[in-house]
Structure 1
Amino acid sequence: MVEMMNEGMAEDLAIAGGLIAVQCIAAVHAVFMSYLMTLEIDPLTIVIFTCFSTFLVVFPFAIYFERKKWPQKFSYKLIIQILMLSFGGVTLFQSFSLKGIKLTSPTMGTAMPNLAPGLIFIIAWTLRLEKVNVRSTYSKVKILGTIICVAGALAMSLMQSISPPAPKIETGMKLPTFPPDAIFDMKKIKGCLYLVASVVILSNAYVLQAFILRDFPAPISLSATISLLGAFMTAIAELLQDHRLKTGGQNLSVPKLIGFTFLAGAVLGLCFSFHGWAVKKKGPVLVSMFSPISTVCSIIFSAVTLGDTINIGSLVGMFLMFTGLYFVLWAKGKEGFDYGDGLETEFDAEKPLLS
């Protein structure tokens, strides 16, 4: 009995430590991607190389662990769903996310995905994939948490897009003074819109993935498949848009680009695999509670490496978003199967957010 308790405690510590490491790696990845884009490398090019690298790393795990779970026959419906998930969840989501990071900051890029649980709840409720009883305390908390989360994201986006105007230098010995009116940086507003669009796409991709996993119950294999297809789709999109792959020219040689992006894709592939294993062991609610760590780490890394700063208003919006996230996750973890009217829900703490 004591040995079993020790093994369970060791596994819990390993999962917690691994999830903290994954979030720190995600923050480093966002900062590193921001640096690559300063070398005039197109976000689509980065998506192509990193997704292909992810496929090379994840596919052997898929063969070893999930080969017996592969469907014997792929229907046209399943093929179309996989293609839609590859285009939306890889090409659109990652390219929009990188463009948003390029125009704003890695901190914004790691903070915005915390909107996903609330948006998934709204989508699931709209599509009647999740049963909601407005008389239930937990349902009310989830609705309130979603509203707070969205309000925090909007506040953070607005405050992040405000730039102080150039100081007016007056004659004499007076110090420079700033006019009271603030200037909205249209570039940052555009970047925030890219990030919001990427999170909306990600939330819908989660919903679509839930349907696909019913016929293709192999999440690692599905991740490898959409990474490969997404890389090809992104390459086609960039060739149609720019008629060539923008590799940064003289700022970064092609071999170095391949090396950097392969390293990033390989690390992300391993992180995805560990993340999926942790979800299987402890459920998505516990795993999701670690997600704000990446935002905190990205603030520190961005300040140290890129010299980025974040204003008080953005911090307040970020706090609201994290508060709303934990409201949703708390209600998700506490709600029971019975809502009091005989209705039961499949969406508990031990199952995927949409299953």
Structure 2
Amino acid sequence: MEVRAKFGEVVPFVSLVIIEGCTIGLTIMAKTIITNGLSPVVFVVYTSALVTIILLPYSFISSCKNRIIKKLLTFIFLKLMLSLANELCRITLTQNLTFMGLRYSSPILVCAMGHLIPAFNFLLSVVLRKTKFDWRSTSVQVKVIGTLISIMGAILVEFFKGPLIRNSSDHQLQHSKQLFIYSTTSEHWVLGGILLAAASLSVALWNTVQMGAVQKYPEAMKVLSYYSLLGTIQCAIVSFMVERDPSAWKLQHNMEILVIVLTALFGGVIRSHVHMWCLHLKGPSYVPLFKPFGIAFASTFGVTFFANSLHYGSVIGAAITGMGYYTVMWGKFRGDEENIKQGYETSDSSDKKVPLLQGEMEV
């Protein structure tokens, strides 16, 4: 029993840490192929299409295995209504904004701006009156403080890069760029940050809207696969409008194909299933705690492998947003505990049912 208990503690922890490391690694690879010429909108279409191809048959098999039978017309109508309202924010906006922002910034900025999602969730819930703003509540006070910390960190990482952590000679820099490119010219940094902050806001908007959808139709795989299908169609329409050069749709290197396949497999299947497994094993408050680990990985990779790419201001600002992230999440968990004690259902009950639908801003 003791060995089994240790196994149950160590394996989820190690799995989620590895997932965050792989996420940053894929973000760096995506940054490389986008900087080398692949259009971000084309990248989003190809990855979304591949995720759809994987998820649709998987969801069908899963549904048959569990003997879940739904009327076809009801399924199509419900999914269409829900998806038309939600999918523009979830895939079309979020993914395109994220990879456009990545094109003009770096993975450390992606991490920092991604930590704004809980703060945006809280602000939107207050503005839309989905959360009662009671200043006497400890959870509300903590959320407000965490939101302010997150915003301060985002401003710092956006406007103050600071000196380089590690300088290198031009020869070393050229050698390091043969495989990977980590950062971009400084004049596009602010634009990249704005795009990434907008992506976080779109995730928060989608989280707010999709909560009711999950309660109406709690079959995670079917909802996710249908979202992915409609999102791919929308992304394709947007991409054809933005990228009118036919040659931009041709993949030039094996590296581009490899990154697209890995991104689809990891982001669309592996990460979601690991998150679901850990959520059922450890509870809904466990998985979100590992998101700030991406800062450590991005900083380590930047210092170790990518010369002239990482600045003190970027790391400090990202660390501050991570602190704000943890503060807001702690306030959220505290509020859930208060609601449970008072006999109310928590606002995140839908997330417990469908962890696959939780918003992600990374590859």
- Distance between the aligned counterparts of 1:319 and 1:278, measured in 2? 25
Matches within 5 A, 1:141-160: 141-160=142-161
Does the residue aligned with 1:285 lie in a helix, a strand or coil?
coil
How many residues are paired up?
Answer: 330
Aligned partner of 2:286 in structure 1 is 286
CA contact (8 A) 1:30 1:110 kept: no
- Distance between the aligned counterparts of 1:213 and 1:70, measured in 2? 17
Aligned partner of 2:347 in structure 1 is 347
The structure with the largest alpha-carbon Rg is 1
User: CA offsets per residue over residues 258-308 of structure 1, 9 Å max, x none?
Assistant: 343122211222112221332343334321110011222122224444435
CA contact (8 A) 1:93 1:198 kept: yes
Superposition deviation, residue 50 in structure 1: 1.1
Is 1:57–2:54 an aligned residue pair? Answer: yes
Counterpart selection for 1:7 from 4, 9, 14: 4
Aligned partner of 1:262 in structure 2 is 261
- Distance between the aligned counterparts of 2:209 and 2:337, measured in 1? 24
Aligned partner of 2:113 in structure 1 is 112
CA contact (8 A) 1:62 1:224 kept: yes
CA contact (8 A) 1:159 1:311 kept: no
User: CA offsets per residue over residues 212-249 of structure 1, 9 Å max, x none?
Assistant: 11222122322222222222221211112222455476
Does the residue aligned with 1:63 lie in a helix, a strand or coil?
helix
Mark the CA change 1:229 to 1:78 in structure 2 (over 3 Å): closer, same or farther. closer
User: CA offsets per residue over residues 44-79 of structure 1, 9 Å max, x none?
Assistant: 111111112222333344234445557531475652
CA contact (8 A) 1:105 1:308 kept: no
Q: Which amino acid aligns with 2:330?
A: W
Aligned partner of 2:168 in structure 1 is none
Aligned partner of 1:175 in structure 2 is none
CA contact (8 A) 1:85 1:208 kept: yes
Is 1:236–2:237 an aligned residue pair? Answer: yes
Mark the CA change 1:228 to 1:208 in structure 2 (over 3 Å): closer, same or farther. same
Mark the CA change 1:161 to 1:8 in structure 2 (over 3 Å): closer, same or farther. same
- Distance between the aligned counterparts of 2:247 and 2:296, measured in 1? 31
Aligned partner of 1:191 in structure 2 is 192
Aligned partner of 1:295 in structure 2 is 295
Structure 2 unaligned regions, length at least 5? 165-184, 359-363
CA contact (8 A) 2:117 2:201 kept: yes
CA RMSD of aligned residues (A): 3.2
Does the residue aligned with 2:215 lie in a helix, a strand or coil?
helix
Q: Which amino acid aligns with 2:103?
A: K
CA contact (8 A) 1:85 1:205 kept: yes
- Distance between the aligned counterparts of 1:191 and 1:146, measured in 2? 21
TM-score (norm 2): 0.80
Does the residue aligned with 2:37 lie in a helix, a strand or coil?
coil
Aligned residues with identical type, % of pairs = 19
